[in-house]
C-alpha cells in the first residue's frame, strides 16, 4: 500500500536525520536551549528598536510624530506637480502611518503588559480613524487623479509605479471619494463605527462562558477551569476522549450571547450600508474587487462545485466516523458536531498506527528551524542568522530574533519569532508585518520586519520544545508568510510582501505545508483536507451578501445543513466564535482557493524535486518578488504558464485529497 511505503520512507529519513545531526547550529541552538538573559544595565532601545517605545507612553509620542509627518506629506502630495514623486509621496505617507499602526496592531494582542496593550489599542484607533479621513480627502485624491489623467506623465512611469498609483486610487474609490460631502462624512463615520464594532466582536468572541458547577456532572468538572462555584469554559475541548466533556464544552462555549449577537448584526449591517453607500451591491462585492475570485458569484460557484465533487467522499468519511464512534462510545451512536475533530484524529491514528513517542524527539523546534534553514538555502539562496536582541527590543524574553540573509544580496530583513506559550498570550498562529520593505528616498532599501506568533510548548530544562506534526505544519505555514515578506523586494511598501489580495497571500504559506509533509524535506503525517472550511467560507459569503432580514443563527442553520452535513445544535451560536468574520470579511474562501493554487504549484514545480534551485528561483521571480505589485492572476499565470479556471481550482483540491489514500476528509 502507498501509506505503508510512505511510512517506511519516512522511517528511513528519520534514521538518516538522527545520524547526521550531532551538534546544533547557531540557529538550532537558538531555539533548543534556554535563552540568554540580557544584562539589566543595558540601554533600553525600545520595542523593535524604536526608541520612543521604551514604555507605554511612547505610543502617543510615536503616534504624534506619525501624524505630523502625515500632515507634511499630504501637503507635499497636494502641491507637487504630477509625476513619480506623487506615488512616492503617497507611499511615504502610507509607510509613516503603517510603521506605527502595524506595530501597535501586534503589541495590542501580544504584549504581556496590559498598559502596553491598552496604549497600542488607542494608537490603532487614532491612526485607523485618520486613514479613513485621508481616504475621503478630496484634495489628496485630486493629486492622484491629475497623475492618472495625464497620459504624457503616465508614459514615463514604470509598471510598478503605475500599478501602485492605481491601487491608491482604488482605496479612494471604495471609500466613497466620489460622493458628495455629506455622504463622504457618513462613510468616514461608518468606518470609524466599524472599527469599534470589530474590537467589540473580537474581544467578545474570545471570552469564556461560565456556568454553575452544579449543572455539570461531578466527574467531568475537573476538565474545566473552576472559579468558586462557577465553571469557566473557554474552548471546545474538541480533542478530549470523553464525549460528555466535548458535548458540555460545545453547548456551553457556543451558548448565544445576546449582546454579541446584536454586535454582529450591527457589524454586518454597517458593512452593507457602507458598501451600498459607495456604490457596491454588497460588502462581498466591495471586498472581492481586485482578488483572484473577483466576484462573490465566482466564490459561490467555486464552493458549490467543490461541495458537489466531494459529496461521495464526505459521505464515506461520515460513515467511517460513525463506525469509529460505535467502537469508542456507547451513549449516542450518531456523529455530532462536537465529535468530528476527535473521531477524525482517532481514525488517522488507527490507520497509520504510529506512536508519537517514536517521532517526536526528531521534531524539536531547533531541528525544524535547521531544516527550514537548509531548505531556503537550497531553493533561493537564503539563510538565517540568530541575533542577540538589545534591552527593551523584545516584549518577552523567550522571543528569538533572526536576521534573514541572501547569499549575494546580503541582509534582507528580520523575523522576530514569538513561538512559545505564555499566560495571556493569544492561542493563535499568525504573521504580523511590523515594517514593510521599500526603496527609501535616500536610495537605501528599508528592510522588512515581521513577527511570527505560534503557540508551541516552551523548552524545559534540557528538553527542547518538541513539536507534533500539526505544529510542524503550522511552523512551515507561517514561515511561508515570513519569506514572502522577506523576498518581496518591491519599490513601494504599499505592496510589500503579503500586502496583496487575500486569496493570493495564503499561497506561499500553504505551499510550505506541502514541503512540510514531504518525507524528503521533513517527515510528517499526510495532511488531510477539511470540508468544514467550505462551510465556513460559504457562511462568510452569505453573511456579507445582500441582507436577508433574519437572524445570523437562522442563516447559520441553513448554510450548515447545505454545506456541512452535521446537524445544528439548538441554543448554540457558533458564528459568535468565528473571529475571522472581522479580518477576512467575505474572504474566508481564500484558504481554499490559495490551497488550490499551492497544490498546482507543488505538483507542477516541486513534487519531483522539492530542493530544485531552478524552480525555487522561478517561484521567487514569478510569485514572491512582486508582493501585491502585480495582479495575482498574472503571478499565477507566470508560475504555471496557464490561467486556471474555477474548475481547475476545484479539480486541484479534489486531486490533492484523493492523493492521500484513506486520509479522511473531515
**Residue 463 in domain:** no
**pLDDT more than 70, % of the chain:** 90
CA distances from 240 to 180, 245, 249, 322, 567 (A): 57, 7, 10, 17, 20
**Residue 94 in domain:** yes
CB of 29 closer than 8 Å to CB of 366: yes
Overall domain count for the chain: 1
> Over 90: is that where the pLDDT of 509 sits?
yes
432 forms beta bridges with 451
pLDDT tens by residue, 156-202: 999 999 999 999 999 999 999 999 999 999 999 998 899 899 989 98
**Residue 4 in domain:** no
Round to whole Å and give the CA distance between 173 and 184.
11
Q: Smallest Cα–Cα separation from 136: which of 101, 182, 94?
A: 182
CB of 137 closer than 8 Å to CB of 181: no
Q: Assign 372 a pLDDT band (cuts: 50, 70, 90).
A: very high
pLDDT tens by residue, 555-571: 999 998 888 778 889 99
The C-alpha cell that represents 228 in the structure block: 468558586
Average pLDDT estimate for 489-499: 94
What pLDDT shows up at residue 526?
27
Average pLDDT estimate for 519-532: 44
The C-alpha cell that represents 400 in the structure block: 528569538
Q: Assign 65 a pLDDT band (cuts: 50, 70, 90).
A: very high
What pLDDT shows up at residue 461?
75
386 forms beta bridges with 402
The CATH number linked to 93 is 1.20.1050.40
Helix (H, G, I), strand (E, B) or coil at 585: coil
**Residue 27 in domain:** no
CB of 584 closer than 8 Å to CB of 590: yes
**Residue 78 in domain:** yes
What's the whole-number average pLDDT of the chain? Answer: 87
Residues known to be catalytic: 478
**Residue 153 in domain:** yes
**Residue 474 in domain:** no
Round to whole Å and give the CA distance between 120 and 128.
12
Q: How open is the CA angle 284-207-580, to the nearest 5 degrees?
A: 20
Angle between helices 590-601 and 632-640 (to 10 degrees): 20
CB of 403 closer than 8 Å to CB of 411: yes
Q: Which domain holds residue 122?
A: 55-135+137-175
The C-alpha cell that represents 234 in the structure block: 473557554
Helix (H, G, I), strand (E, B) or coil at 488: coil
What pLDDT shows up at residue 105?
94
Round to whole Å and give the CA distance between 168 and 177.
12
Using only C-alpha atoms, the chain has a radius of gyration, in whole angstroms, of: 25
Least reliable range by pLDDT among 279-288, 344-353, 366-375: 344-353
Q: Smallest Cα–Cα separation from 194: which of 269, 296, 94?
A: 269
CB of 456 closer than 8 Å to CB of 366: no
The C-alpha cell that represents 561 in the structure block: 445543513
Round to whole Å and give the CA distance between 95 and 445.
13
Average pLDDT estimate for 384-400: 94
Average pLDDT estimate for 113-124: 95
Least reliable range by pLDDT among 59-63, 203-207, 298-302: 203-207
> Over 90: is that where the pLDDT of 348 sits?
no
Q: Smallest Cα–Cα separation from 365: which of 328, 398, 388?
A: 398
> Over 70: is that where the pLDDT of 17 sits?
no
pLDDT tens by residue, 619-663: 999 999 999 999 999 999 999 999 999 999 999 999 887 776 444
Average pLDDT estimate for 273-277: 95
What pLDDT shows up at residue 324?
87
What pLDDT shows up at residue 565?
77
| Cα of 277 vs its chain's centroid, Å | 29
| Backbone torsions φ then ψ of 551, nearest 5 degrees | -70, 155
**Residue 144 in domain:** yes
pLDDT tens by residue, 20-55: 344 567 887 788 776 656 566 678 999 999 999 999
What pLDDT shows up at residue 24?
61
Round to whole Å and give the CA distance between 417 and 395.
11
What pLDDT shows up at residue 524?
35
Long-range contacts of the stretch 302-307 (C-beta < 8 A, 24+): 302/589, 302/592, 302/593, 302/646, 302/649, 302/650, 303/534, 303/537, 303/538, 303/541, 303/563, 303/589, 303/592, 305/646, 305/647, 305/650, 306/534, 306/592, 306/650, 306/653, 306/654, 307/531, 307/534, 307/563
pLDDT tens by residue, 433-459: 999 999 999 999 999 999 999 999 888
Q: Smallest Cα–Cα separation from 273: which of 176, 341, 156?
A: 176
Least reliable range by pLDDT among 24-38, 219-233, 387-401: 24-38
How many CA atoms lie within 13 Å of 67's alpha carbon, on the beta-carbon side?
Answer: 14
pLDDT tens by residue, 196-223: 999 899 889 989 999 998 989 999 999 9
> Over 60: is that where the pLDDT of 240 sits?
yes
What pLDDT shows up at residue 528?
26
Distance from the first to the final alpha carbon of the chain: 22
The residue among 140 and 3 whose pLDDT is bigger is 140
Sequential DSSP letters for 145-202: HHHHT-HHHHTTS-HHHHHHHHHHHHHHHHTTTTS-HHHHHHHHHHHHHHHHHHHHHH
Average pLDDT estimate for 512-539: 65
The C-alpha cell that represents 153 in the structure block: 506623465
**pLDDT more than 90, % of the chain:** 63
Q: How open is the CA angle 626-618-25, to the nearest 5 degrees?
A: 95
> Over 80: is that where the pLDDT of 290 sits?
yes
What pLDDT shows up at residue 629?
92
Amino acid at each position: 500500500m502507498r501509506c505503508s511505503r510512505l511510512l517506511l520512507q519516512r522511517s528511513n529519513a528519520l534514521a538518516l536525520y538522527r545520524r547526521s545531526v550531532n551538534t546544533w547550529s547557531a540557529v538550532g541552538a537558538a531555539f533548543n536551549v534556554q535563552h540568554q538573559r540580557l544584562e539589566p544595565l543595558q540601554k533600553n532601545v525600545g520595542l523593535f528598536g524604536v526608541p520612543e517605545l521604551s514604555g507605554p507612553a511612547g505610543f502617543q509620542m510615536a503616534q504624534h510624530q506619525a501624524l505630523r509627518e502625515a500632515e507634511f506629506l499630504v501637503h507635499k502630495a497636494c502641491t507637487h506637480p504630477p509625476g513619480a514623486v506623487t506615488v512616492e509621496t503617497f507611499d511615504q505617507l502610507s509607510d509613516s502611518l503603517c510603521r506605527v499602526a502595524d506595530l501597535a496592531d501586534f503589541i495590542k494582542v501580544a504584549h504581556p503588559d496590559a498598559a502596553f496593550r491598552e496604549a497600542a489599542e488607542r494608537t490603532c484607533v487614532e491612526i485607523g480613524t485618520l486613514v479613513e479621513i485621508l481616504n475621503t480627502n478630496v484634495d489628496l485624491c485630486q493629486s492622484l487623479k491629475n497623475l492618472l489623467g495625464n497620459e504624457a506623465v503616465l508614459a514615463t512611469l514604470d509598471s510598478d509605479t503605475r500599478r501602485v498609483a492605481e491601487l491608491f486610487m482604488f482605496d479612494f474609490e471604495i471609500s466613497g471619494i466620489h460622493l458628495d460631502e455629506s455622504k463622504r462624512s457618513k462613510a468616514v463615520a461608518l468606518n470609524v463605527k466599524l472599527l469599534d464594532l470589530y474590537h467589540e466582536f473580537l474581544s467578545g468572541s474570545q471570552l469564556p462562558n461560565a456556568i454553575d458547577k452544579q449543572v455539570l456532572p461531578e466527574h467531568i468538572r475537573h476538565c474545566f477551569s473552576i472559579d468558586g462555584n462557577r465553571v469557566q469554559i473557554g474552548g471546545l475541548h474538541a480533542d478530549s476522549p470523553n464525549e460528555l466533556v466535548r458535548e458540555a464544552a460545545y453547548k456551553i462555549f457556543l451558548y448565544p450571547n445576546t449582546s454579541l449577537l446584536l454586535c454582529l448584526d450591527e457589524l454586518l449591517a454597517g458593512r452593507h450600508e457602507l458598501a451600498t453607500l459607495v456604490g457596491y451591491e454588497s460588502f462581498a462585492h466591495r471586498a472581492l474587487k481586485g482578488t483572484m475570485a473577483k466576484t462573490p458569484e465566482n466564490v459561490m460557484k467555486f464552493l458549490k462545485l467543490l461541495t458537489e465533487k466531494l459529496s461521495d467522499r464526505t459521505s464515506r468519511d461520515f460513515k467511517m466516523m460513525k463506525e469509529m464512534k460505535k467502537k469508542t462510545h456507547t451513549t449516542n451512536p450518531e456523529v455530532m458536531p462536537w465529535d468530528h475533530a476527535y473521531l477524525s484524529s482517532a481514525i488517522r491514528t488507527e490507520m497509520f498506527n504510529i506512536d508519537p513517542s517514536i517521532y517526536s524527539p526528531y521534531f524539536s523546534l531547533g531541528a525544524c528551524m535547521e531544516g527550514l534553514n537548509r531548505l531556503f538555502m537550497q531553493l533561493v539562496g537564503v539563510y538565517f542568522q540568530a541575533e542577540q536582541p538589545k534591552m527593551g527590543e523584545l516584549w518577552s524574553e523567550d522571543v528569538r530574533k533572526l536576521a534573514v540573509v541572501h547569499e549575494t544580496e546580503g541582509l534582507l530583513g528580520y523575523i522576530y519569532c514569538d513561538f512559545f506559550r505564555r499566560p495571556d498570550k493569544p492561542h493563535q498562529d499568525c504573521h504580523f508585518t511590523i515594517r514593510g520593505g521599500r526603496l527609501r528616498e535616500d536610495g537605501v532599501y528599508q528592510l522588512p520586519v515581521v513577527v511570527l506568533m505560534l503557540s508551541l510548548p516552551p523548552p524545559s530544562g534540557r528538553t527542547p520544545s518538541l513539536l507534533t506534526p500539526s505544529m510542524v505544519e503550522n511552523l512551515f505555514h507561517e514561515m511561508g508568510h515570513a519569506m514572502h515578506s522577506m523576498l518581496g523586494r518591491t519599490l513601494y511598501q504599499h505592496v510589500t510582501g503579503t500586502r496583496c489580495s487575500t486569496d493570493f497571500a495564503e499561497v506561499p504559506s500553504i505551499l510550505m505545508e506541502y514541503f512540510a509533509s514531504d518525507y524528503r524535506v521533513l517527515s510528517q503525517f499526510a495532511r488531510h483536507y477539511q470540508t468544514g472550511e467550505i462551510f465556513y467560507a460559504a457562511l462568510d459569503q452569505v453573511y456579507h451578501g445582500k441582507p436577508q432580514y433574519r437572524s445570523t443563527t437562522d442563516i447559520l442553520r441553513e448554510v450548515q445543513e447545505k454545506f456541512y452535513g452535521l446537524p445544528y445544535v439548538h441554543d448554540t451560536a457558533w458564528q459568535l466564535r468565528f473571529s475571522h468574520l472581522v479580518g477576512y470579511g467575505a474572504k474566508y474562501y481564500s484558504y481554499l482557493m490559495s490551497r488550490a493554487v499551492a497544490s498546482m504549484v507543488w505538483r507542477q514545480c516541486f513534487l519531483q524535486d522539492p530542493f530544485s534551485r531552478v524552480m525555487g528561483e522561478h517561484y521567487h521571480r514569478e510569485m514572491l518578488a512582486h508582493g501585491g505589485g502585480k495582479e495575482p492572476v498574472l503571478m499565477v499565470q507566470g508560475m504555471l504558464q496557464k490561467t486556471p479556471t474555477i474548475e481547475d481550482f476545484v479539480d486541484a483540491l479534489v486531486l490533492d485529497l484523493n492523493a492521500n489514500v484513506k486520509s479522511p476528509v473531515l
